[in-house]
Amino acid sequence: MINPPVHRSQLANGITVLTIANPSADIVSGRFFIPAGGRWELSAQAGLAQLLTSVMMKGTQQLSALEIADRVESVGAGLSADTTTDYIKMSLKTVKSDLVDIFKLAAEILRTPSFPESQIELERKLILQAIRSQTEQPFNNAYRQLRTALYGEHPYSRSSLGTATTMAQISRQDLVDYHQTHIRPDRLIISLAGRITPTEAIELVAQVFDDWEIPQIEPPVLLTQKVTTNPQYQVEHQATQQAIVMLGYLAPAIHDPDSIALKLIDSYLSNGMSSRLFVELREKRGLAYDVSAFYPTRLDTSHFAVYMGTAASNTQIAVSGLRAEVDRLCLEPLSAAELQTAKDKLLGQYALGKQTNGQLAQTYGWYELLGLGVDFDSQFSQAIQQLTSAQLQTVADKYLSTPYISIVSPEQQLVSSQV
């Protein structure tokens, strides 16, 4: 599939509109992005954005939760809201004939949620259950421990769900205040993909949002929190049948040119059953139940991580094995064949991630929020193709030399930090 062109415009009240015309099916998908989420929360209010997006869908000043659900389900549409560390998002999907009605409903939910007390308590209970569920999962515990070591007091150290303590303390007024502060037109990005032209998209957004004025208060300012390097070795014991071993490294945000090389390194280590980690540590040595790597796209300082689920008796061997495979990247350049295979995998996966209208709306809206612009799509592919083995080795040596180590293992298994 050839990527359709992306049209960008901006309304007088600051709303950014992206249109990706893709008339192959009578479907339109949309994303409403607002820079908010966990990165904009006080530590004492961690989970506030998560509770807000959960309750937003449960009533407006004109509609009840049941009426909202009925309007969406009666036409087979999709409408939801969620949050991440870097943004709050609403998503919609509908046939073209119902777009105006569903779009107006999404706008009403975004602008005038009623935050019913009964729904706040219900959603709070559900989130508290999710928090408890996280604490029972060894991978989540290892990742939480790693993030805490990497980021300290930075919001990236926290789960978007918050903690049981912070979630229990959030009040309805906190939700109202957060909504008034962050949900405003000059912070809104709307991306629409599908059977819709740029002219239709702009007219629709203007029709629904033209009366939304920028509030006479300054937009929220994100306080920059410095992340310092201080590698640690941490072990947490949990009643589990296997150990989770995770190595992490502070890594650049997506705006840094080195991030492109790290995306390719991530793909080389973890993309599929022919990836280095899978072949070397699972297939050849039989160490891993599960082994992979990840490098999240972040507005601020990100991280690169490799991990393995293994038998508790193999914990120290797993640490050594993971370190050896990462260290090889710093010491040995990839062969021409390895480099080309990694590029083909990454670009193939990247293309498959933009097949649906929902994926297109998500991708380009996210790029806009990141400040990368609509041209980043083609720039990314070109940059990947131009990377050399020597450049990958240089970037690996720059960022992947000394890891933070996080382990979750059964209490009876003694784990040594002398690895």
CATH of 233-409, one of 1.10.1380.10, 3.40.109.10, 3.30.750.24, 3.30.830.10: 3.30.830.10
Q: φ and ψ at 60, to 5 degrees?
A: -120, -175
Looking at residue 412, its pLDDT comes to 60
Mean pLDDT by 10 residues, the chain (419 residues): 82 97 93 95 94 96 96 96 96 97 98 96 97 94 96 94 96 96 97 97 97 90 79 90 95 95 96 90 89 95 96 93 96 96 94 93 96 90 96 98 95 52
Q: What span, in angstroms and rounded, lies between the C-alpha atoms of 233 and 287?
A: 21
Q: What is the pTM of this model?
A: 0.92
Looking at residue 133, its pLDDT comes to 95
Mean per-residue pLDDT over the chain, rounded: 93
Q: What is the pLDDT of residues 8-59, one digit of tens each?
A: 999 999 999 999 999 888 999 999 999 999 999 999 999 999 999 999 999 9
Domain ranges (residues) in the chain:
6-209, 233-409
Looking at residue 124, its pLDDT comes to 98
Q: φ and ψ at 19, to 5 degrees?
A: -125, 125
CATH of 6-209, one of 3.30.830.10, 3.40.1280.10, 1.10.8.60, 3.40.50.300: 3.30.830.10
Looking at residue 169, its pLDDT comes to 96
Looking at residue 55, its pLDDT comes to 97
Enclosing H/E stretch for 379: helix 376-386
Helices (H) and strands (E) in the chain, counts: 15, 11
Domains 6-209 and 233-409 share a fold: yes
Convert 66-134 into a string of H (helix), E (strand) and C (coil): HHHHHHHHCCCCEEEEEECCCCEEEEEEEEHHHHHHHHHHHHHHHHCECCCHHHHHHHHHHHHHHHHHH
Closest CA to 188 of 5, 368, 375: 368
